[in-house]
């Protein structure tokens, strides 16, 4: 089946400082893809660049193929129909993502007018239906309220309703639950999972929260310092991470079930994009790094089990046993 979106060699630089170093990514129709990685690794920038939403000081190269169109070269007018119409995006802090001086109803109806040509009573009916759908109680009574009259969780529901207004093929949810408290997070995740199933809409779920990713997604991409370092099904990555960075993310995660183990944070911090280490960007923080890692950058290569991996000395494949020193398989395969 053809991919819905194909990102090829996407590079972004701010004022000459590269922050994305050639990202390749595809999203299949209806699929739920997770995008994880520490703060600053380029998760948001990838999709803001794809939709042409970065400030003009950002230089973007590469291809973002949506059907027949390449979004990176597309004129504004083409981008405007894609945004919200074919690809919708919701953001981290829902309370500040809605315009504080416009009524909720008006903000919803604007999206309906732009992408579905609905106005007046028809738009209002549809907006009320969407508010219902995302679980806003008493939609009719709250249609004329302003964003500050809703809770954070409800604002995110409204953002989702607004995103659904254009009946998009793909919803990018950029850390949609980070600003919310735990119970509300779970409700929003449920809502996203339910809507995706009902509307057969692909979802890219950007998150720090691996648990949430496991709950919502089928496939995961792990990003580090502007590159994808490992990519595979949720099962593959969660049960058997092979990139030391992916493994590090899991070790830093508290476990709800099973034996209590000490949390092991990844040592060090994300490198500054202006000052990347030579070779593999993760090498200074990596417990498995070899001298080779300082000299060469591993490519993202397909592995036998279908995942993709960018590491010269990855953790051993399942069944290869123990802590045997891995061969430099990643580079040569």
Partner 1 sequence: MIRFVTIRLLRAVITVLAVMTFAFVVLRMSGDPAEVLLGPDVPQTVIDAFRKQWGLDAPLWQQYLSYIGAIFSGDFGLSMRDRSPAIQLVMERVPATLQLTIPALLLKLGIGIPAGVYAALHRDSAVDRGVIFLAILGFTIPSFVMGLVLVLIFAVTLGVLPSGGFGSWQHAILPAITISIGGIGILARFSRSAMTEVLGQPYIRTASAKGVKWRDVVRGHALPNAAVPIVTIVGFMVGSLIAGAVVVETIFSWPGIGRLLIVSVSNRDLAVVQCILLLIAAVMVVSNLIVDLLYGWLDPRLRA
Ligand X SMILES: Nc1ncnc2c1ncn2[C@@H]1O[C@H](COP(=O)(O)OP(=O)(O)OP(=O)(O)O)[C@@H](O)[C@H]1O
Distance in angstroms (rounded) separating the CA atoms of residues 151 and 142: 12
The secondary structure of residue 315, as a DSSP letter, is P
- Part of the chain binding Mg ion (CB under 5 A), chosen from 36-44, 100-108, 183-191, 316-324: 36-44
Between CA 254 and CA 311, with CA 39 as vertex, the angle to 5 degrees is 80
Rg (CA), the chain: 21
Closer CB to ligand X, residue 42 or residue 241? 42
Distance in angstroms (rounded) separating the CA atoms of residues 326 and 42: 29
Shortest Cβ 167–ligand X spacing (Å): 26
8 A C-beta contact, residue 82 and residue 168: no
Place of tokens 């291809």: 63
Site for partner 1, rule CB under 8 A:
51, 53, 76, 80-85, 88-89, 91, 93, 96-102, 110-111, 114-115, 146, 148, 159, 162-163, 165-166
Shortest Cβ 169–Mg ion spacing (Å): 22
Closer CB to partner 1, residue 19 or residue 162? 162
Largest separation between any pair of C-alpha atoms in the chain? 68
Shortest Cβ 173–Mg ion spacing (Å): 11
Partner whose footprint covers residue 45, from ligand X, partner 1, Mg ion, none (CB < 5 to 8 Å by kind):
ligand X
Site for ligand X, rule CB under 6 A:
14, 19, 37, 39-45, 55, 273
Binding flags for Mg ion, 42-61, as an x/- string (CB under 5 A): --x-----------------
Alpha-carbon 331 to chain mean position: 26
Helix, strand, coil shares of the chain, percent, nearest 5, are 35, 20, 40
Partner whose footprint covers residue 159, from Mg ion, partner 1, ligand X, none (CB < 5 to 8 Å by kind):
partner 1
Closer CB to ligand X, residue 46 or residue 283? 46
């Amino acid at each position: 089946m053809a991919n819905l979106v194909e990102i090829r060699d996407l590079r972004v630089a701010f004022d000459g400082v590269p922050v994305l170093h050639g990202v390749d990514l595809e999203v299949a129709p209806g699929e739920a893809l997770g995008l994880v990685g520490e703060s600053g690794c380029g998760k948001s920038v990838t999709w803001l660049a794809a939709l042409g939403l970065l400030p003009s000081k950002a230089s973007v190269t590469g291809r973002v193929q949506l059907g027949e169109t390449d979004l990176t070269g597309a004129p504004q007018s083409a981008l405007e129909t894609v945004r919200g119409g074919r690809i919708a995006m919701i953001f981290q802090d829902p309370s500040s993502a809605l315009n504080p001086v416009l009524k909720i109803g008006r903000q919803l109806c604007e999206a309906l007018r732009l992408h579905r040509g609905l106005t007046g009573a028809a738009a209002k009916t549809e907006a009320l239906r969407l508010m219902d759908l995302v679980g806003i109680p008493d939609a009719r009574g709250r249609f004329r309220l302003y964003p500050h009259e809703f809770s954070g969780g409800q604002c995110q529901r409204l953002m989702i309703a607004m995103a659904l207004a254009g009946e998009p093929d793909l919803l990018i949810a950029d850390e949609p639950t980070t600003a919310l408290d735990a119970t509300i997070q779970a409700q929003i995740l449920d809502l996203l999972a339910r809507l995706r199933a009902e509307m057969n809409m692909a979802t890219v779920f950007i998150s720090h929260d691996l648990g949430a990713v496991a709950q919502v997604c089928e496939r995961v991409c792990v990003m580090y310092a502007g590159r994808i370092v490992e990519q595979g099904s949720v099962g593959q990555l969660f049960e058997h991470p092979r990139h030391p960075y992916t493994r590090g993310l899991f070790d830093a995660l508290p476990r709800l079930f099973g034996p209590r183990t000490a949390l092991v944070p990844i040592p060090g911090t994300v490198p500054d994009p202006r000052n990347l280490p030579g070779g593999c960007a993760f090498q200074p923080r990596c417990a498995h790094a070899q001298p080779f890692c300082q000299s060469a950058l591993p490519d993202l290569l397909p592995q036998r089990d279908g995942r993709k991996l960018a590491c010269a000395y990855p953790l051993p494949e399942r069944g290869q046993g123990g802590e045997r020193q891995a061969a430099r398989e990643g580079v040569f395969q």
